[in-house]
Chain A
Amino acid sequence: MSNIDYEELIRSPLDELDSGNASGWGLWVVGLVAGLLTGLLLVFLVGGETDPEPALVTTTTELAVVVDVVTPDYPDGYIELAPGLGAKVSELIVDEETITMSVNTVVARGGDVFAPIWPVGGLWWLESGSGTMVESSRVVLGRFSPGVFSVEFPAAPFNGETQFAEASLVERWDQQQLTGSVEMPFLGEPFIAPEPVTITASQDVTLIVPALELGRFLGKVEWILVGPEDGGRVDLVAVLLDGEGVEVGRYDSFPNLLDPGDHGVSEIISSRSFRDTQEGAETVVLEYTVSVVEVTPVAVNFDLGAVPIGR
């Protein structure tokens, strides 16, 4: 065997540090210093590639702009008079006895212009520039109503004053609509209902039709409303059906915009003229629409400062 001391050959000088004497920790210190130097060098090198300015950490957050697109319900200058209906005072017309306030209305954007009921009636107050306040005497409806209506005030309490500050709707005539129909046999031309027709429109409202006549071209219907405290409006349509339920005639009344009441007479007109007779008719269907007025307290104010005064 060889006498070569292989262990000596493979021994590293560093192995001496592991001999258990104090000089072995010198390598730890050397390593620490070397590490410090290397670390500082790295920091310097890395730091040199970045902004040499003091580190100021700033967070920038871009806020999304929130845009609310508002579509007004009514054009400029119109105030909501009732749900879905805007109004604007167009003129005050002053004469010796009466002050007439002309109002025009618009349907809210997207609303139905042909909705059957518009609450344009009610009680108004008119206040003059000097503070005199007067209650309306009535609401006037006519051609172009409900797109246009007028409110009348007595002129005398204003004593000739023609400066007006404000008009206010304080009670609005809302309407509850009750609809339905009744049938009766067609008894021959011209049709005359043999007896009054009593219709229970609701628990509190009874419609009585004392007279119903249907000529070949024209008809007449009387009505009485029992129950509603503030009256109502009644529209009646008579339809003639043949034995198989097919419509052979129809009598319409013009939409009723008169002041609400508890009785009335309506002229109804055949919208489909009979060529010769009402031949074929076997059943009369009377369709009714009762608009019961319900007084709703409101406070809708119109500034009259810029409203023209006419005569």
Chain B
Amino acid sequence: MTSPGKFGIGFMVGALLAVAVSLAWTPGGNPPETTSVAVTAADPVTVVAPWLESGEVLVASTVILPLGLEVEDGVAVFDYDLAGLSPALVEHEDAEHQGDVVVMPERWMLTTEAGVEVEAVTSRRDSTVRFDLPSLDDEVATISLIGWRVATVFGNRIEMPIEVGATGSLRNGIVSIETVLEQRTSTIVQLDLDETGDDWQLPIIRPRQPAWRVTGRQGGGVQLIWDGVDAPDTLVLEDAGFEMREVAGDILVVDQRDEL
């Protein structure tokens, strides 16, 4: 080996030693540390998506769809639509129809910016609620639904002798036999319904004995025919109508407090 080779090897070895020693020892006296980070998978965050679009309000199985609020000359008019989430037997022609509406708004409460409360009432067929504000310059803070109706079926069973004048009690009225017409091969019975309920009740009479056929409904009356000569002595009916039962609550429908 030549002299320059020996010098070069010594130089290289020295340099490497210096670097190695420097890495193995620091001026602070502590050996270099490597933190061992334990990585664990983070638990997923569960977010429950809202069932409805913003602004829509769910009342049992029916959705209130706010359409608009106009305040003019001391009158606040709130327009809304209803969309049902319930299953339906018959497809409606309205393509927007979601399902059967079985819950209907009735009692509303408007609160003005000044804190004055104004009540209003809607019926089964309404889609607008109108509030008379205390003064012309009142502004609407909130509108809440404080009462609604939920459809309920009872299916009350009524038994009555098949004779003119016989009566039976319904939940919301009386059914009576007006005519009995015995023919050679059939019997016709005409029933009259005297309803005592309001717009939130509707009796619908149907025979429980399957051999009776309903052949007409007119003016609150029902006509039944029994085909054959063996008509029974007792007529068994069922009220398949509905009664919209009142429910009290407090559901915020419109909130304009941030805009005031």
Contacts and interface: CB of A to CB of B under 8 A. Distances in A.
Interface of A: 12, 14-18, 24-25, 27-40, 42-43, 47, 54-61, 63, 65-72, 75-76, 78, 85, 88, 90-91, 93, 100, 102, 104-107, 109, 113-115, 118, 138, 140-150, 152, 218, 220, 255, 257, 261, 263-265, 267, 308, 310
Most central of B32, B44, B151 by chain A CB within 10 Å: B151
Interface of B: 1-4, 6-19, 22-23, 26, 28, 30, 32-35, 37, 39, 41-49, 51, 58, 60-61, 84-91, 98-100, 102-103, 150-155, 202, 204, 210-211, 213-215, 239-242, 245, 247
Given A36-B15, A75-B85, A144-B102, 18 more contacts: A14-B2, A32-B17, A34-B14, A35-B14, A43-B19, A43-B23, A55-B33, A109-B51, A113-B85, A138-B155, A141-B153, A142-B239, A142-B240, A146-B89, A148-B242, A149-B153, A150-B155, A308-B247
Contacts of A148: 86, 102, 150-153, 242
A32 B245 contact: no
Q: What are the nearest 7 A-B pairs in CB distance? A: A35-B14, A39-B18, A31-B10, A147-B86, A17-B3, A140-B155, A142-B153
Contact of B153 (A40, A143, A267): A143
Contacts of A14: 2-4, 7
A152 B1 CA distance: 111
B152 A93 contact: yes
Contacts of A56: 32-33, 35
Contacts of A138: 155
Contacts of B89: 145-146, 255, 257
Contacts of B37: 58-61
B57 to A, nearest CB: 11
A141 B99 CA distance: 17
Contact of B247 (A18, A60, A68, A90): A90
B15 A71 contact: no
A143 B245 contact: no
B242 A55 contact: no
Given A35-B10, A59-B37, A143-B204, A113 B98 contact: yes
B19 A39 contact: yes
B80 to A, nearest CB: 18
Given A75-B61, A144-B242, A147-B102, A102 B152 contact: yes
Most central of A88, A102, A143 by chain B CB within 10 Å: A143
Contacts of A61: 37, 39
Nearest to B103: A104
Contacts of A255: 89-90
Nearest to A310: B245
30 contacts: A14-B7, A17-B2, A18-B2, A24-B3, A29-B10, A35-B10, A35-B17, A37-B18, A38-B14, A39-B16, A39-B18, A39-B22, A58-B35, A65-B42, A66-B44, A70-B46, A75-B51, A75-B85, A90-B150, A104-B102, A105-B61, A105-B87, A106-B61, A140-B155, A141-B240, A142-B155, A142-B241, A147-B84, A147-B151, A265-B211
A203 B181 CA distance: 44
A57 B151 contact: no
Contacts of A25: 6
B44 A35 contact: no
A70 B49 contact: yes
B45 A34 contact: no
A267 B10 contact: no
Contacts of A12: 3
B12 A35 contact: yes
A42 B210 contact: no
A42 B19 contact: yes
Contacts of A42: 15, 18-19
Contact of A39 (B17, B32, B102, B245): B17
